[in-house]
Amino acid sequence: MGKSFLLSPTLTPSKFCQKHTSILPRNYPKVSYFRSSNANLDSFRGCRDGFCSIPSFKAMPTRRLCSKASVFSEVSNQKQFFKVGAESTGPIPSKQLLQVVQTAAETGAKVVMDTVNKPRTIAYKIGLSDLVTDTDKMSEAAILDVVRNNFQDHLILGEEGGLIGDSSSDYLWCIDPLDGTTNFAHGYPSFSVSVAVLFRGKPAAATVVEFVGGPMCWNTRTFSAASGEGAFANGEKIHVSQTDKVEKSLLVTGFGYEHDDAWATNIDLFKEFTDVSRGVRRLGAASVDMCHVAFGIAEAYWEYRLKPWDMAAGVLIVEEAGGAVSCMDGGKFSVFDRSVLVSNGVLHAKLLERIGPATERLKNKGIDFSLWYKPENYRTDI
């Protein structure tokens, strides 16, 4: 793209927790949480640069909640969907890729943390709702330094900087230096730094650093995954929920900036699922939404018109946490697709009973669902 960046000294990849303790997913009707007997304030590891580890909490049953009558058919919940993660990481070991991915994401997150309580310089990409700040650009520059210092010949696709590097590489980095910029600009706690690396078009390693809390109490939670190695939050293994009824689920969606047919269709889906579930949330940061599905605190997330940097990290983390990923018509997913549905897997087929036909109607109207933002000459296995 004709841009140049100053390279910082080589960063040592961060170390990862080797303790693979599972965090049990939420399973209704458990509605309140109590600290387990072995969790206390001493179990918080030290905070540094705004990055803290969080102790496990054990869910305890309290009261049973009433649920609406089911309006979904008894389709099989165990339908298998195509795997989105890379089958191989090529000549670079997955552990090495993940270390660099996490170092890159945390480096960008430190830039964000340094500016989160300071005045923002805001510009507009398209219209009055698609924002970009100086922090987006500084975070991406810091992330690029890490990637280039470790892998000079890799291809990089960043939200702010576009495509950089060698298109003949099998590795493509998808970088969102500040996912949820509008939330960040308002100090609303739903934004993140999202970094993933693809091997021949499929996610191989991913990290999302989520900002939590709010003004005067900002903190972070780091989600990470490598293909075939499971998903983790602050070093603790995580899993999607086991909720098997739509009427007992909490769902999440998102809306793009263009108020077109796809936007209107999703407004209708939002209304429909609000009537038959425990609620539908719209938080404004796709990578965070998907990590919440992986974490077991929401059952599904869907959206039209996302870009590769919005999805690449989140879909791998969901899959490695035991969830399912597809396009919104139920078809095989790639990060270059224009729709995504992620879920706990158990509910995926039932959700597609409504989402699939709605998406097919858009296709019949001639709405473009072809691949986009796929670099020319980039070799893939998709």
Question: Over its length of 382 residues, how does the chain's per-residue pLDDT go in tens digits?
Answer: 443 333 333 333 333 333 334 444 444 343 333 333 333 333 333 444 444 443 443 444 433 333 343 444 344 455 678 999 999 999 999 999 999 999 999 999 999 999 998 877 777 765 555 567 899 999 999 999 999 999 999 999 999 999 999 989 999 999 999 999 999 999 999 999 999 999 999 999 999 999 999 999 999 999 999 999 999 999 999 999 999 999 999 999 999 888 999 999 999 999 999 999 999 999 999 999 999 999 999 999 999 999 999 999 999 999 999 999 999 999 999 999 999 999 999 999 999 999 999 999 999 999 999 999 999 999 999 8
**What is the domain-level CATH number for residue 195?**
3.30.540.10
The answer as to whether 13 is a domain residue is: no
The beta-carbon contacts of 185-188 under 8 Å, at least 24 apart in sequence, are: 185/120, 185/122, 185/131, 185/133, 187/116, 187/214, 187/215, 188/214, 188/284
Q: What is the pLDDT of residue 326?
A: 98
Integer Cα distance of 312 and 314 in angstroms: 6
Comparing CA positions, the residue from 270, 271, 272, 279 lying closest to residue 28 is 279
Q: What is the CA radius of gyration of the chain?
A: 20
Final residue of a structural domain among 203, 238, 273 = 238
CA distances from 195 to 72, 147, 174, 181, 289 (A): 36, 10, 6, 16, 15
Spacing of C-alpha 112 from chain mean position: 18
Among 340, 349, 348, residue whose Cα is nearest residue 309 = 340
Please indicate, yes or no, whether residues 233 and 99 belong to a single structural domain of this protein: yes
The per-residue pLDDT for 59 is: 41
Domain that holds residue 349: 246-364
- Order of strands, edge to edge, in the sheet holding 339-343? 280-281, 251-253, 300-304, 339-343, 324-326
Query: Are the CB atoms for 76 and 211 separated by under 8 Å?
Result: no
- DSSP H helix total and E strand total for the chain: 7, 18
The verdict on 250 and 233 lying in the same domain is no
Q: Is residue 178 part of a domain?
A: yes
The position carrying tokens 């399973």 is: 27
Q: Are residues 132 and 261 in the same domain?
A: no
Instruction: Note whether 260 and 362 are within 8 A (CB).
Output: no
Domain count across the chain: 2
Q: Residue 258: what pLDDT?
A: 86
pLDDT score, position 349? 97
Residue 103 shares a structural domain with residue 209: yes
What is the DSSP-derived secondary structure letter of residue 114? H
Query: Annotated binding residues, as ranges?
Result: 159, 176, 178-179, 310
Report the binding-site residues for Mg(2+).
159, 176, 178-179, 310
Do the Cβ atoms of 179 and 310 come closer than 8 Å?
yes
320 is a domain residue: yes
Q: Are residues 228 and 282 in the same domain?
A: no
Same domain, 185 and 298: no
Answer yes or no: do 256 and 197 share one domain. Answer: no
Total count of residues recorded for the chain? 382
The reported pLDDT for the residue numbered 130 is 58
Give the separation between CA 303 and CA 333, rounded to whole angstroms. Answer: 13
* Bridge partners for 197 per DSSP: 173, 205
- Look at residue 74 and tell me if it is in a domain: no
Query: What's the predicted TM-score (pTM) here?
Result: 0.80
Q: Same structural domain for residues 340 and 287?
A: yes
